[in-house]
């Protein structure tokens, strides 16, 4: 008895099913190129607009360059001025310290009576030595641009003098320096120490028009 072979069931190929929302090759073929490309500004730039933009940029760069040049020039001038001041006034601190030495030498000379200088040879030689020392000191200060201020008989100056008191009935015009308590010193255009003075006091009923109130505070 011949056995019959079992029949094989015919299978059909499974159709490709795309997931929801997925793009199939067929859809890709129908998509037109350039749909997702960014849209560029279609307005062309005219040569005049391009020239105007370049000129504006050039003007901005020029202005910045001029500002930088001006700033560099200011820095150079300031450095030069500071260097000149250092040269001119570098010894001002030392000069101020030496002013007290000059004052003490002058006080020493004033303390010696005139009769003692004439009668005593030792005192006379001592005075000569002090005078030479004072002269050498003042000469050294003058080499550094230091000058003494002795304003007797001059008009009071707020810039160079310091009024310590007023002197009535002097016969001098109001505001005139009539007494000198301590000389002042100036280094080039810079005041090292004001001169301490006494000034003439005017008539309170008719004060001079060109003389203001005098500061008598020390």
* Cβ-Cβ contacts under 8 Å for 5 (sequence gap 6 or more): none
Buried b (16+ CB within 10 A) or exposed e, 77-89: eeeeeeeeeeeeb
HSE-CB for 50 with a 13 A CA cutoff: 4
Answer whether 158's CB lies under 8 Å from 213's CB.
no
Note whether 45 and 51 are within 8 A (CB): no
**For residue 85, what pLDDT is reported?**
83
Topology at the third CATH level for domain 149-200:
Nucleotide Exchange Factor Grpe; Chain A, domain 2 (2.30.22)
Contact 183, 148 (CB under 8 A): yes
pLDDT score for 120: 86
Torsion of CA 63, 66, 67, 73, to 10 degrees: 180
Cβ neighbours for 175, distance < 8 A, ≥ 6 positions apart: 155, 156, 199, 200, 202, 208, 211, 214
The distance in angstroms from the start CA to the end CA of the chain is 152
Q: How much is the pLDDT for 116? A: 85
CA 86, 88, 91, 92 torsion: positive or negative? negative
pLDDT at 31: 53
| pLDDT computed for residue 68 by the predictor | 92
What stretch of H or E contains 167?
A: strand 161-167
Tokens of 21: 């929302």
Q: What is the pLDDT along the chain (218 residues), one digit of tens a residue?
A: 445 555 555 555 544 444 455 555 555 555 555 555 555 555 788 888 888 888 888 999 999 999 999 999 999 999 998 888 888 888 888 899 999 999 999 999 989 988 888 888 899 999 999 999 999 999 999 998 999 999 999 999 999 999 999 999 888 888 999 999 999 999 988 899 999 999 998 755 444 444 444 443 33
Q: Point out which residues pair with 155 in neighbouring strands.
A: 176
Q: What pLDDT sits at residue 203?
A: 58
Supply φ then ψ for residue 82, to 5 degrees.
Answer: -65, -35
pLDDT at residue 40, as a whole number: 54
In the prediction, which pLDDT does 204 show? 54
Contact by Cβ (8 Å): 157, 114: no
- Work out whether strand 161-167 and strand 195-200 pair parallel, antiparallel, or are unpaired: parallel
**What whole-number distance in Å separates Cα of residue 7 and Cα of residue 102?**
141
């Amino acid at each position: 008895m011949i056995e019959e072979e079992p029949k094989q069931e015919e299978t059909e190929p499974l159709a490709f099913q795309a997931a929801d929302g997925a793009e199939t090759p067929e859809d890709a073929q129908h998509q037109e190129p350039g749909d997702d490309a960014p849209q560029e500004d279609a307005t062309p730039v005219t040569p005049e607009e391009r020239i105007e933009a370049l000129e504006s940029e050039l003007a901005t760069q020029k202005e910045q360059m001029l500002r930088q040049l001006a700033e560099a020039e200011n820095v150079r001038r300031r450095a030069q001025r500071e260097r000149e001041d250092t040269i001119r006034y570098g010894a001002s601190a030392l000069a101020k310290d030496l002013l007290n030495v000059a004052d003490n030498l002058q006080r020493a000379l004033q303390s010696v009576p005139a009769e003692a200088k004439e009668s005593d040879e030792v005192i006379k030689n001592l005075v000569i030595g002090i005078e030479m020392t004072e002269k050498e000191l003042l000469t050294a200060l003058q080499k550094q641009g230091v000058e003494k201020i002795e304003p007797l008989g001059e008009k009071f100056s707020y810039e160079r003098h310091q009024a310590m008191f007023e002197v009535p009935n002097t016969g001098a015009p109001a505001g005139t320096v009539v007494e000198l308590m301590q000389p002042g010193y100036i280094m080039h255009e810079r005041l090292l120490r004001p001169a301490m003075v006494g000034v003439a006091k005017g008539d309170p009923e008719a004060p001079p028009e060109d003389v203001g109130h005098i500061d008598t505070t020390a």
